[in-house]
Amino acid sequence: MTYRTDNNLRLARIRSEIRNSAVKVHSHYDIYICESNMALWKIVMQGPQESSYSDGTFLMYLEMEDDYPNFAPKARFLTSIYHPNINRHGLYSLLLFPGFSDPINAVVTLNFHWDQEEVALQIAKHATKTRAEWKKDIIGE
């Protein structure tokens, strides 16, 4: 009986998240929900303004597994991203205070401190698609 209750809670929370994302559309990201599994989302994010990522657009997936919402969803960047807290497989570390003090990618951290030109080149190398191009790839429009 617990599994059914937990699954009902999970599905209710996912439906709530879908409603909220439809009502409160964000100007810097687009959400594409899998038609056959509403717990699997693709998210296209524009890099934050006034950051090294501002010209980039990045694709990630978010999966709300059976233990959601008790545990955070699984997330992974599908676009390679040059970031101190994201590894080469697109997995990130959730830190209490994210930043440069406890990176999972030390080389990137050093470049952020000493070689901003290399950072800009690496970011631009992978973030080549626009949000419209990602939309076309994901849903075919």
Taking only the tens place, the pLDDT of each residue in 71-85 is: 889 999 999 988 888
What does the pLDDT read at residue 11? 94
Reported confidence tier of residue 105, pLDDT bands at 50, 70, 90: confident
Residues 101-117 have a mean pLDDT of 80
H-state helical runs in 24-130:
106-114, 116-126
Neighbouring C-beta atoms of residue 92, cutoff 10 Å? 19
pTM of the model: 0.82
Return d(Cα 13, Cα 44) in angstroms, integer: 22
Return d(Cα 31, Cα 21) in angstroms, integer: 8
What does the pLDDT read at residue 64? 95
Question: Is pLDDT of 55 > 90?
Answer: no
Residues 114-138 have a mean pLDDT of 89
Residues 97-121 have a mean pLDDT of 77
Q: Considering the chain, what is the average pLDDT of its residues?
A: 87
CATH architecture of 2-139: Roll (3.10)
- pLDDT: is 105 or 139 the higher one? 139
Q: Is the Cβ–Cβ distance between 73 and 63 less than 8 Å?
A: yes
What does the pLDDT read at residue 4? 64
The structure tokens listed for 93 are 């570390």
- CA 116 → CA 47, 60, 123, distances in Å? 16, 24, 10
Helix (H, G, I), strand (E, B) or coil at 33: strand
Question: Is pLDDT of 1 > 50?
Answer: no
Which residue's structure tokens are 């996912």? 14
H-state helical runs in 1-72:
2-23
What does the domain layout of the chain look like in residue ranges? Answer: 2-139
Give residues with Cβ within 8 angstroms of 82, minimum separation 6. Answer: 108, 111, 119, 122, 123, 125, 126
